[in-house]
């Protein structure tokens, strides 16, 4: 049975606390971008900032394994949800598979910059394999929580241009593209959860998702801080200087942690849904930034530089 677009099931089947707020006309469309040849030009590719560079590098190391896990956990429920949500899960899987591929390439380029990322890769594998041993519902709620964290970080990096203001251009495009798709599919895991828990009491739904989020948010913060400090040590920054620099970056400078704290806390509200805030304008903004960056490079480059760039644009048009 198909369902009304604004809900994950019909109103008679789904209780009020499990109704989805996903926009009826939301289109989730995988954009098959390819950044494999985008080498990291500077070790501190985020505008020369060692802390911002280490933060995004530590995040990137988690993506290939983490996003494969998200795919696995949603696949388990694909046959149990209404047709519209099945299509959204399919698009989610396509998007995450491409993200995983592109961040694998990014991580290979990190190795080319002489970063040893094996310890960080082992750490994320241990965490993900631990969750894989739990029930499929635990895996789904974990995916839903991490997807919320990813979506609010994505919204932050698109809406605040300071994050990638002086970053290497190819890397900026990679991160904006990934961020835009995270915003676009932010409700898919949540809607799957709403549908498969529709027979649960509101209190049980709220308690399970909030207790998971509390644990996952703390673990995410602790593990990313460890990863950042490891990469900073490899960049010649350690001890109190590393701790202070990271704290300043997270809370006072570009402040990705401080600026996402309030959106994170929204998750704990009874009746919360990721699409309570319709931020699709950020997807359009990220895409316009991406296109604008290409045009500026074409106009500024010499004829010799323009040829490969124009060739790349044609390639992008083919896959877009």
List the x/- string, 149-188, binding to Fe ion by CB under 5 A.
Answer: ---------------------------------x------
If the CB atoms of residues 44 and 150 are measured against Fe ion, the closer one turns out to be 150
Which part of the chain contacts Fe ion (CB under 5 A), choosing from 90-98, 250-258, 278-286, 295-303?
90-98
DSSP for residue 166: T
Which part of the chain contacts Fe ion (CB under 5 A), choosing from 26-34, 96-104, 240-248, 312-320?
96-104
Angstrom CA distances, 5 to 19, 78, 80, 183, stand at 11, 17, 17, 19
If the CB atoms of residues 28 and 205 are measured against Fe ion, the closer one turns out to be 28
If the CB atoms of residues 246 and 286 are measured against Fe ion, the closer one turns out to be 286
The least distance separating Fe ion from the CB of residue 70, rounded to whole angstroms, comes to 6
- Cβ 274 vs Cβ 148: under 8 Å: yes
If the CB atoms of residues 107 and 245 are measured against Fe ion, the closer one turns out to be 107
| Residues in 18-77 that interact with Fe ion by CB under 5 A | none
If the CB atoms of residues 96 and 279 are measured against Fe ion, the closer one turns out to be 96
* Nearest alpha carbon to residue 282 among 148, 183, 162, 185: 183
* Nearest alpha carbon to residue 146 among 81, 199, 75, 96: 96
If the CB atoms of residues 182 and 230 are measured against Fe ion, the closer one turns out to be 182
If the CB atoms of residues 97 and 298 are measured against Fe ion, the closer one turns out to be 97
Ranked by CB distance to Fe ion, the top (closest) residue is 99
Which part of the chain contacts Fe ion (CB under 5 A), choosing from 71-79, 93-101, 287-295, 311-319?
93-101
Burial of 13 (0-12, 13-18, 19+ CB in 10 A): middle
Separation of first and last alpha carbons in the chain: 32
- Cβ 298 vs Cβ 309: under 8 Å: yes
Q: What is the rounded distance in angstroms from the CA atom of residue 172 to the CA atom of residue 79? A: 37
Q: What is the rounded distance in angstroms from the CA atom of residue 200 to the CA atom of residue 198? A: 6
| Residues in 181-220 that interact with Fe ion by CB under 5 A | 182
Q: Which residues contact 199 (CB under 8 A, 6 or more apart)?
A: none
- 103 touches Fe ion (CB under 5 A): no
Total interface residues for Fe ion by CB under 5 A? 3
Which part of the chain contacts Fe ion (CB under 5 A), choosing from 95-103, 205-213, 223-231, 260-268?
95-103
Q: What is the rounded distance in angstroms from the CA atom of residue 88 to the CA atom of residue 311? A: 32
The least distance separating Fe ion from the CB of residue 201, rounded to whole angstroms, comes to 28
The least distance separating Fe ion from the CB of residue 198, rounded to whole angstroms, comes to 23
If the CB atoms of residues 96 and 230 are measured against Fe ion, the closer one turns out to be 96
The least distance separating Fe ion from the CB of residue 236, rounded to whole angstroms, comes to 31
Residues in the chain: 320
Q: What is the rounded distance in angstroms from the CA atom of residue 107 to the CA atom of residue 115? A: 9
The least distance separating Fe ion from the CB of residue 199, rounded to whole angstroms, comes to 27
Which part of the chain contacts Fe ion (CB under 5 A), choosing from 71-79, 88-96, 222-230, 287-295?
88-96
Q: Which residues contact 304 (CB under 8 A, 6 or more apart)?
A: none
Q: What is the rounded distance in angstroms from the CA atom of residue 17 to the CA atom of residue 273? A: 10
Which part of the chain contacts Fe ion (CB under 5 A), choosing from 89-97, 161-169, 271-279, 280-288?
89-97
- Give the DSSP letter string of 159-184: H-GGGGTTB-HHHHHHHHHHHHHHHH
Q: How many CB atoms lie within 10 A of CB 311?
A: 10
- 99 touches Fe ion (CB under 5 A): yes
Binding site for Fe ion (CB under 5 A): 96, 99, 182
């Amino acid at each position: 049975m198909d369902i009304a677009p604004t809900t994950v099931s019909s109103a008679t089947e789904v209780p009020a606390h499990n109704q989805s707020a996903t926009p009826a006309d939301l289109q989730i469309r995988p954009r098959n971008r390819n950044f494999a040849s985008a080498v990291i030009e500077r070790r501190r590719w985020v505008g020369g900032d060692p802390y911002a560079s280490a933060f995004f590098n530590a995040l990137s190391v988690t993506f290939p394994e983490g996003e494969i896990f998200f795919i696995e956990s949603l696949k388990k429920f694909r046959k149990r949800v209404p047709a519209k949500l099945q299509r959204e899960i399919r698009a989610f899987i396509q998007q995450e598979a491409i993200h995983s591929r592109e961040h694998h390439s990014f991580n290979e380029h990190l190795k080319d910059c002489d970063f040893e990322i094996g310890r960080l890769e082992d750490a994320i594998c241990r965490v993900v394999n631990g969750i894989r041993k739990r029930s499929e519902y635990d895996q789904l709620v974990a995916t839903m929580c991490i997807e919320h964290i990813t979506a609010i970080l994505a919204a932050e990096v698109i809406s605040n241009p300071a994050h990638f203001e002086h970053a290497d251009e190819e890397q900026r495009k990679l991160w904006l593209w990934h961020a835009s798709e995270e915003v676009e599919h932010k409700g898919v895991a949540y809607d799957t959860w709403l549908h498969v828990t529709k027979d649960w009491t509101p209190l049980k739904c709220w308690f399970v998702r909030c207790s998971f989020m509390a644990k996952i948010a703390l673990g995410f913060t602790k593990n990313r801080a460890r990863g950042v400090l490891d990469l900073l040590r490899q960049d010649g920054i350690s001890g109190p200087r590393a701790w202070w620099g990271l704290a300043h970056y997270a809370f006072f400078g570009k402040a990705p942690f401080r600026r996402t704290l309030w959106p994170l806390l929204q998750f704990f509200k009874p009746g919360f849904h990721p699409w309570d805030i319709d931020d699709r304008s950020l997807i359009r903004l990220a895409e316009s930034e991406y296109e604008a960056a290409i045009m500026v490079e074409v106009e500024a480059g010499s004829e010799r530089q323009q040829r490969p760039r124009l060739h790349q644009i044609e390639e992008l048009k083919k896959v877009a």
